[in-house]
Structure 1
Amino acid sequence: MPSVPPGEWQRPGPTARQRRNDWWTGLTVAAVAVLNLFLARGGGMFDSEHAAALPEQIWWVLVTTLPLTVRRSYPDVVAVAIAVAFIAGQYRGSQEQQITTGVLFAAIYTLGAWGRDRQRSRILRLSIIGVMFGWLALAFVVFSGNLPGPAATASLMINAVVVNVGFFAFCHLMGDAVWNGVLRRHELEEQTEKLRAAQALAAERAVLTERVRIARELHDVVAHHVSVMGIQASACRRALDKDPVRARTALASVEEGARTAVDELRRMLGALRSGEAEQAAIEKIGIERLPEIADRARESGLAVEFAVYGEPVPLPESLSQAAYRIVQEAVTNTLKHAHAQTLDVRVRYLNGQLELDVTDDGRGGSTTAGGMGLVGMRERVSVHDGSLEHGPHPDGGYRVRARFPYTTGATA
């Protein structure tokens, strides 16, 4: 059964091509019916003293068949007109009954398949069928005197009822089946449009999510390296006159940091162009590169202690990358905001958990609540069902601690 109630949907009218086809079909059927009329008269079929004159018979054949030319444009009017003309033609003794009977069945089918108002269409079809059976019964009563006997009359009546019930039921059910098929196709088209709209929306969201991810990655890359470069440049400025050797070392660090930042940016921009470049960029970032972050922090003048506790275990690439970025962001914030002297970075492989602990001795404000860095850390932790703590350390300074569960197994 269709999921859309019949009263809430109307089948669109016929196309221009369908209307043209109806005209040619109606004219062709009318011509064939007129030809069949002459054949029937020549063969003596349905001959009777009550038969109308030839011009009148031609008239009734045309009145019955020509409405087919607009059958899909006005299915209810056509069905009623053909039914009335069919009965009138038989009453007046038209000798063409084969084609016109088929035309009546076609009209009932068309009303079921193309009727705009389903309730009216059903009532009209059932009414026409009921009238036709009433006319059949009346014809048997009127002409029963011409039949050979009661047994023959009963046989003919049963045969006529069975045959007509079969044809009328077939036309009625086929009309409903075609209409319901068109309704289902309409529903499928609507669902297809909704799916397309949903896919477009999902694609837009995916693009937005990818942009946010890339923006976060760019922030992590640029903020860290630029912060280190800024500190090195400041050290170079202070030592330029008093300690040229130290100034040259600082400039070398600035140069190296700029080169590294440019390489990172190239990898990230490559991720925008191809999935392979993106995968390559991901594979080059991971928890095994945390010592590089500690080294760059040392080059910036901080006293850095880096330690790994527990037995390192293989981690999923996405988790390894998230761990790297969180430590990188925490160290970057220390360099930018904390004015710290020392930095302690610890990685702990606990029982089924990875813990990252970054603590400095600065003034206790290294991560601002509204910064992109903190938002990025929260997102990375949330993606991996982890937890994030940040805030002033009880012993002074600032602390960032993240925990991630993992399923690859680890030792305490």
Structure 2
Amino acid sequence: MTTAGDMEWRRPGPTADQRRNDMLSGIAATVGSTFSLVLSTSVGVFLFDDPASRPEQAFWAVATTLPLMWRRRFPEPVMLLVAVAYIASQARHAQEAQISQIALFAAIYTAGAWSGDRRRARLSRIVVIAAMFGWMTISMSINLPKLPPDAFSTAAGPLPPILSAILVQIFLNALYFGFAYYFGDVSWTAAHDRHLLVQRAEELRREQDKEAERAVLNERVRIARELHDVVAHHVAVMGVQAGAARRVLDKDAGKARTALAAVEQEARTAVDELRRMLGVLRATDAEGPVPPVHGIDDLPALLESSRQAGLTIDHGVYGDPVDVPESVSVAVYRIVQEALTNTLKHAGPVGVDVRIRYLSREVEIDVTDQGRPAAPPNGRGMGLIGMRERVAAHEGVLEAGPREGGGFRVRARFPLTKKEAAA
């Protein structure tokens, strides 16, 4: 079925090679038609009893076949020229019988296959075919009465001979013109399908390029998030410990050494974290197992590190702990880590309440501090953006903002699968 989009599509014109092939095939058809005419006249084979003169026969043979040299460049005009020459050659009793019929078939086929306007192609072919049947009717009405009385003396079929002759002509011409019309449409449809295939392949290529760009962007965001989560917490703790060491350096050397030892330990931990993260980014199946990442089970060590930095932390686990996917476990760890880092950066050494709740269909993390954030919680920091991305990746819910009466709260909920919820 032809759609409106099909009607709007125009087949690209012939290439230089196709135009050259048309020129050669048109010349070959003209030479072949002339040679066929010579052979026919040499053996006395004529379609009519009173043929035209030899020069006129040659003229119509050339006029019927030579336009094929431009058949794909001007499909409808060539078809009309060939059709007019074909009918004129019959009317003048000068038709070359073999090659001229092939030329007419090729012209009708080409009009269907290469016309730029489908409505015009359909209408012009119908007009030409109707004209051919009209001429056939006229020709039979003129020539049948001229047949001698014994023209059908050997006829033995069940139908009247004249009726049979008419039906044979109609049947053969219907097949001839029907195939020319049909195969022209088939060729155009095949070209249109190739165009759609190339177009869809190009769209797919563009979509793949966009997907590759999105994958690169997502990977950059993931690396940035991991770098921020790995470095920010340890650097914040190092900053607090270094500040404490500076304040007590002249008064209490023991406390200063303890603070500097904590800075050293945090620096080593940060380096180890960076190496682990780089190992994950570079790891391939051929390089062995990927180093383990931090998860819920590592929260006590994280909280202890934050206590050494000056935070007073109350930690509680509510509900029956269940095994959660590693990605959720990592997200829980990173969100708690980021919340503690923000507390150190914006509120200083204050009290923090960290709660992990295992609910019926989700696991909830609730981190609340008792300070007053120095920076307004506008949600534009890298830390909060990283939290939202981690929660959104697991179709969870994040709440982050100041509390009434002071302090800041981060609460995240991750849905559990049916298996985890059942456990």
TM surpasses 0.5? yes
Q: State the match for 2:85 in structure 1.
A: 85
Structure 2: gaps (5+ residues): 150-158
Q: State the match for 1:312 in structure 2.
A: 321
Counterparts of 2:348 and 2:233, CA distance in 1 = 15
Q: State the match for 1:189 in structure 2.
A: 198
Q: State the match for 1:177 in structure 2.
A: 186
Deviating more after overlay: 166-175 vs 391-400: 391-400
Counterparts of 2:400 and 2:70, CA distance in 1 = 79
Query: Residues 38, 85 of structure 1: CA spacing in aligned structure 2 closer, same or farther, 3 A cutoff?
Result: same
Measured after TM superposition, the shift of residue 295 of structure 1 is 1.5
SS in 2 for 1:403: strand
SS in 1 for 2:221: helix
Mapped pair 1:403 → 2:413: yes
CA contact (8 A) 2:279 2:291 kept: no
Measured after TM superposition, the shift of residue 275 of structure 1 is 6.2
Measured after TM superposition, the shift of residue 319 of structure 1 is 0.8
SS in 2 for 1:376: helix
Counterparts of 1:384 and 1:360, CA distance in 2 = 25
The one of 210, 218, 224 aligned to 2:219: 210
Measured after TM superposition, the shift of residue 6 of structure 1 is 4.5
Aligned residue type for 1:25: S
Counterparts of 2:259 and 2:41, CA distance in 1 = 117
CA contact (8 A) 1:389 1:401 kept: yes
For residues 273-352 of structure 1, the aligned pairs below 5 Å read 273=282, 283-352=292-361
Measured after TM superposition, the shift of residue 189 of structure 1 is 2.2
Counterparts of 2:127 and 2:53, CA distance in 1 = 31
CA contact (8 A) 1:338 1:366 kept: no
Mapped pair 1:163 → 2:172: yes
Aligned residue type for 2:212: A
CA contact (8 A) 2:114 2:188 kept: yes
Q: State the match for 1:246 in structure 2.
A: 255
Q: What RMSD in Å do the two structures reach over aligned CA positions?
A: 2.7
Counterparts of 1:410 and 1:178, CA distance in 2 = 61
Measured after TM superposition, the shift of residue 385 of structure 1 is 3.2
Measured after TM superposition, the shift of residue 359 of structure 1 is 2.9
CA contact (8 A) 1:268 1:278 kept: no
1:175-201: per-residue Cα shift (whole Å, max 9, x none)? 112112212222232222223223322
Measured after TM superposition, the shift of residue 279 of structure 1 is 11
SS in 1 for 2:420: coil
CA contact (8 A) 2:236 2:345 kept: yes
SS in 1 for 2:13: coil
1:225-260: per-residue Cα shift (whole Å, max 9, x none)? 100000111111122222223222222221221222
CA contact (8 A) 1:339 1:363 kept: no
CA contact (8 A) 2:106 2:180 kept: yes
Q: What TM-score comes out, normalization by structure 2 length?
A: 0.88
Deviating more after overlay: 337-346 vs 10-19: 337-346
For residues 55-134 of structure 1, the aligned pairs below 5 Å read 55-94=55-94, 96-134=96-134
Q: State the match for 1:382 in structure 2.
A: 392
Measured after TM superposition, the shift of residue 47 of structure 1 is 5.7
1:317-344: per-residue Cα shift (whole Å, max 9, x none)? 1111110011001111111111234333
1:334-364: per-residue Cα shift (whole Å, max 9, x none)? 1111123433322222323212222333336
SS in 1 for 2:205: helix
CA contact (8 A) 1:218 1:265 kept: yes
Aligned residue type for 2:194: R
Matched residues, percent identical? Answer: 52
Query: Residues 241, 289 of structure 1: CA spacing in aligned structure 2 closer, same or farther, 3 A cutoff?
Result: same
Query: Residues 274, 126 of structure 1: CA spacing in aligned structure 2 closer, same or farther, 3 A cutoff?
Result: farther
Query: Residues 188, 117 of structure 1: CA spacing in aligned structure 2 closer, same or farther, 3 A cutoff?
Result: same
Q: State the match for 2:11 in structure 1.
A: 11
Counterparts of 2:189 and 2:401, CA distance in 1 = 66
Provide the aligned length of Structure 1 versus Structure 2: 412
The one of 201, 209, 223 aligned to 2:210: 201
Counterparts of 2:203 and 2:127, CA distance in 1 = 40
For residues 263-274 of structure 1, the aligned pairs below 5 Å read 263-273=272-282
CA contact (8 A) 1:57 1:94 kept: yes
Aligned residue type for 2:392: S
1:48-75: per-residue Cα shift (whole Å, max 9, x none)? 4411222221221111111111111111
The one of 337, 361, 367 aligned to 2:370: 361
CA contact (8 A) 1:333 1:367 kept: no
Aligned residue type for 1:127: V
Structure 1: gaps (5+ residues): none
Query: Residues 409, 7 of structure 1: CA spacing in aligned structure 2 closer, same or farther, 3 A cutoff?
Result: closer
Counterparts of 1:151 and 1:226, CA distance in 2 = 108
Q: State the match for 2:156 in structure 1.
A: none
Deviating more after overlay: 241-250 vs 225-234: 241-250
CA contact (8 A) 2:105 2:180 kept: yes
Q: State the match for 2:153 in structure 1.
A: none
Q: State the match for 1:262 in structure 2.
A: 271
Deviating more after overlay: 320-329 vs 215-224: 215-224
Deviating more after overlay: 131-140 vs 390-399: 390-399
CA contact (8 A) 2:377 2:401 kept: no
CA contact (8 A) 2:398 2:410 kept: yes
